[in-house]
Structures are given as C-alpha cells and as structure tokens.
Amino acid sequence: MTRTAPFAGAAVVGARWQPAALALSTVGWGANSFTPLLGAYHRDAGLSATAGAVLFGVYAVGLIPALLWAGPAGDRHGHRRIVIAFVAVSGLATIMVMAGGHTPVVLAAGRLLTGVAAGAVFATATAWVTGLSADAGLAARRVSIALSAGFGAGPLAAALVATWTSAPLVTAYLPHLALIVVTLTWLSTTRHPGTPPQRPPPTPRRHRLPAILDSRAFRVTVVPMAPWVFGCATTAFAALPARTTPLSVLGAGLVTAVTLGAGTAAQMLARRLDPSAAALTGLGCAVAGLTVAATTVTGSVFVAAVALGAAYGLCLNAGLRTTEQLSDPAHRGAGTAMFLALTYLGFAAPWLLITASTIVTPTAALLGAAALAAATAAWLRTHHRHPDQPTTPAPTPKDPPMAALLILNYDVTDPDALNAYRTAAGPLLSAAAERIALTTDTIDLAEAGPAGTHTVIWRFPSVAAAHAFYHGSAYQSVLADRLAATTAKAAMIVETVAD
C-alpha cells in the first residue's frame, strides 16, 4: 500500500493515538495480572497446573470471537465507543476474578469475560492507533510497545502487591482497577471519535470471512507465523517456571516482566528490519529460547524468557506491519482482528506442552517445539514475497496518465471543526494537488439525492496519485476532522480526458 511522507502538523493530529495506546496497555495489564498468581492459586485454592493452563485457554475462547466481531464493527461504527465500553468490561471482569479466587466456576467466568474485553479493545484500539500513525512501521511499534508494557507491568505489579499484602488473590488486582479509572477518564474526555467509520461495502452472504484472507501473502506468511507470537510469550511465563525449582509469586512476576520487557526492547531492532527479516529473526529467537528452556540449569528460565520475549516482540511487529500493508483502509480493523485472533491460538502452547510431557519427557517436548519453530522459519524463507499490494489494489494508471479530480461535496455542521481540518489538511493537499474549485453555494439540479452546499475540487497528476493520497496514512489521519464537522454527500475520484 502506498504511503505518504510524514505531514505538517502531525504532532498535533498524531497525538490522539495515545488514549487508544493507553487502552491497549490497561486491558493487557488486566489480562496478564493472573499469570504470576498461578502459584498462589495452587497453594491457596488448590488449583492444579492443568487447571491453570485451561484458564489460559478459557481466556482465548472469549478473546478470539470478540476480536473477529469488534474489528469489522469498529470499521463501520468508529472505534472510540467500542474501546470505552470494553475497557469498562475489563474492569468488571477483574472484579469477577477477584470474587472467584476460591470458586473455580466464577474464576473461569471472569477469565472468559477478560478475554471478551481484551479481544474487543485489542482489535479496535489497534486499528485506531494504526489509522493515526504515519506509516505501518510506526504503527506496529506503537501497538507492540503499548501491548507489551501492559502485559509486562501488570504481572509485575500484581506479584509485588501479592507478595507484600494479605489476601493476594484479591489485592493483586487492585492496581488494574485504579488504572481502569484513569483510562476511562482520558478516553471519555478526548474529542476525537477514533478512526472514522469507513463504511465498507456489504459482504456477500456466501463470503463472510475477513477480506484479508483473500491475500495469498497473508495466508502463506502471516498465518503460519502468527501463533508463535503468544505461543512464545505464554511458554515463557506460564510453562517454564515449573521446569526448574518452583518460583515464588514475585519470581513468576519477574519472569513475565522479563519476557515482555524483551518484547518491548525488540522494537528497536524491528524498526531496522523489513517485516520478513523481523519474522525470521523472531523465529530464530524462538528456536534459541525453546532450546535453552529444554535444559534445567539454574537461571535458564530467565535466559529463555529473554529469547522468547524477543521472539514475541519481533513476530508481533512483523505481523502487524504486514497486515496493515495488505489491508484495504476500509477493512483495516477486520484485518488486524484476524491477525490478532491467529496470534492468540498460541495461548494453547502451555496446555500442549503439559500434555506432550505426559507422552514424552518435558525436554523432548520443548525440543520438538524448537524444531517446529525452525520449520516455520524455513517455510517463510521459501514462500515470502513482499506485501506490496493491498487486498483492494489501487487503480492502475493509463500510459500516459491523465490528471484526476478529487471531488468532495458536503454540508457543514461544525464550522470551527471544519476550519481545524482545513488547517491540518491544507498543507497536505497543496503539496500533492492543485485546488481548482471551492464553493459554499453549490447549485443542486435535483437529479438525485440532495447535494451539499460546499464543494471542493482538487486536481492530482493521475488517478493513482489521487487514490494513494486519499488512502495514505497522512490524509486518513485528518479525514476524521472533516467527517466529524460535516455531513458528507459525495466523495469521488474522476479521471480527466485529453484536450
């Protein structure tokens, strides 16, 4: 997908990605606060290792359907309202988990609701951040860091509180509730509605799968790599601590923090790599981490956690960038949701390793996982191709290309907001096109639906240039202001003819 250069005024417009990033961190915090407490649940509530692994699976059962629903819903209705609603649901889920410390059914219900909230927020907030970022690489880094910060800080805070307070299965979750209040306050006071609804055309009944699956590049590169994102992370902080001397709650929290901290640090490397190289490097880290984990040497769990955390961060970054490059802007949320749903298949990794360890030795199970990661890397190396086309390709210009007109017609509902849009969008449009008409008194000939009062026409060098500009991240970031300030009547690109 063609991208435009960073635009003038980006610091003002781009700042609005931060509430969505905080929502990602907050919900990730709550989702992963459970992890370091597995030992406490075993000690105080009699929860077995297998039951703990099942609770990870219950979380994913709630999360994946929510991801697949929320992505398209955000594309159609806007992301902000979904993010706010399900950040609140995340707080409710945490209260249920607190109440279910000694009641497995209530605990499982709380984990299920935690997954539902996480799926809805991860899909819509990721698309929100992506729509307000200058390019796919920057968007992927922002999302990866926000998720990793929440996933890592939440368990560490929960472990510290549980270590130094009584009733750890209750008090460990209090920091998350406080963060929920802060996040909802910020989200509710931001004026930006999230990435504007793109209103994609209705999907035929016979084809309800996300449009991103039409891309061969997505199917052969992203699909096999995606489960390793959380497969590596959950193996590090849910399966490995039991390989050596059982860790305290604080020790388990540190393993989780190290894993996600390594994932955050890996973004510095990811920005220097293209998506293919990032994915291959991540899978190489997975092979190294799983091989180290197969040993029982003291301290190996922390070494493995660093490697597996880096694998998580690099593969997450690579998948987000590739998905964004392959997605039509009108289906960005649905594409992101599909990728994240595939990553959460990796939450089955702890249960699979525990099950495999009843058939072969734990060492053999981990080495088998390392071999599978190496096989995935070999597959990607063989089948990778650069994702240089979106699922809905831009029109191919004629040779020689003819000029094209971008025609916008609308009624104004908020003049001040429209002026703010013009301040931000004017430099972008002037740099890429020539304005040939601006009128506030459009004459309606009443042949079709009523026309708006305002019409703006810009001339671009070609249809491809106009298409690339309109769908580029720079203009998409300011488009929300115009849509919020007007009632759109028409928006079209028209190719001119030779004189």
Chain segment 343-387, per-residue pLDDT in tens: 988 888 887 888 888 899 888 999 999 999 999 999 998 876 544
Range 475-499 average pLDDT: 82
Residue 53 — very low, low, confident or very high, per pLDDT cuts 50/70/90?
low
pLDDT at site 204 = 45
Instruction: Let me know: does 262 contact 62? Beta carbons within 8 Å.
Output: no
In the numeric block, the tokens 């020539």 are attached to 434
Average pLDDT, the chain: 81
Instruction: Let me know: does 87 contact 117? Beta carbons within 8 Å.
Output: yes
Of 117 and 259, the one with more pLDDT:
117
pLDDT over 60 (residue 85):
yes
pLDDT over 50 (residue 391):
no
pLDDT at site 192 = 53
In order of start, what are the domains of the chain with their CATH numbers? 10-199+211-383 (1.20.1250.20), 404-495 (3.30.70.100)
pLDDT at site 298 = 58
Reduce the DSSP state of residue 151 to 3 states and report it: helix
pLDDT over 60 (residue 398):
no
Residue 120 — very low, low, confident or very high, per pLDDT cuts 50/70/90?
very high
pLDDT at site 399 = 52
Enter the pTM of the model: 0.63
Residue 367: what residue type?
L
| pLDDT single digits (tens) 212-243 | 777 888 888 899 999 999 899 888 877 676 65
pLDDT over 80 (residue 69):
yes
| pLDDT single digits (tens) 407-450 | 999 989 888 888 888 888 888 888 888 878 777 777 877 777 78
Range 379-398 average pLDDT: 57
CA distances from 20 to 86, 129, 171, 230 (A): 12, 6, 27, 21
Residue 303 CB burial class (10 angstroms; 0-12, 13-18, ≥19): middle
pLDDT at site 475 = 83
Single out the residue of 155, 129, 133 nearest to residue 261, CA to CA. Answer: 155
| pLDDT single digits (tens) 322-331 | 888 787 666 7
| pLDDT single digits (tens) 236-250 | 877 676 655 555 667
Range 143-150 average pLDDT: 88
pLDDT at site 481 = 83
Tokens of 181: 């209040």
Residue 117 — very low, low, confident or very high, per pLDDT cuts 50/70/90?
very high
Range 392-407 average pLDDT: 65
Range 403-407 average pLDDT: 90
pLDDT at site 88 = 96
pLDDT over 80 (residue 79):
yes
Rounded-to-integer distance, Cα 467 and Cα 239, Å: 48
Of 201 and 368, the one with more pLDDT:
368
pLDDT over 80 (residue 132):
no
pLDDT over 80 (residue 316):
yes
